[in-house]
Structure 1
């Protein structure tokens, strides 16, 4: 008769899953990059301007806000391509100067 007691199972564990680690360490900046912050704040500013346009029924102000949001997205992508995004050369150099975070 096999021993299926709790003590026996605790001492003789059967592995049920395999742990797969990433091949390299992921960046440690958690998205705190120049490109990310620029994109975020430009889009937030554009959303506020667009919301004011809606609240005061000023159509041109709404479209200016939408334009600022689109400009923020394009600006963020340009900064990412220039190396100021996650894993970019400028971001890695900045992390190195600041001690890794």
Structure 2
């Protein structure tokens, strides 16, 4: 039994119902997985254009995720 007693007003707010399952999150994560795969293959088999393509895909996927979040397809800020 815990000796800590929390009042209802001391509890944190309820998390949003989507819990990160948003279009912005999916686009960003899938893009970063593809980017990591391309970059790691480009590093393992020294193919520099493939490595830079992976870096480019990572930048584009982060920008796409940020744009989707700004358009309202992501987790709300508050």
TM-score, with structure 2 as normaliser: 0.82
Unaligned regions of 5+ residues in structure 1, if any?
Answer: 1-14, 89-101
Alignment coverage as a number of residue pairs: 73
TM-align CA RMSD:
1.7
Runs of 4+ in 1 over 3 A off after TM superposition: none
Over 3 Å counting, the alpha-carbon distance change for 1:54 and 1:17 in structure 2 is same
**Whole-Å separation in 2 of the counterparts to 1:18 and 1:52:** 51
- Could you say which residue in structure 1 is the equivalent of 2:6? 18
- Higher Rg of the two aligned structures: 1
Query: Which residue of 25, 35, 50 maps to 1:46?
Result: 35
Unaligned regions of 5+ residues in structure 2, if any?
Answer: none
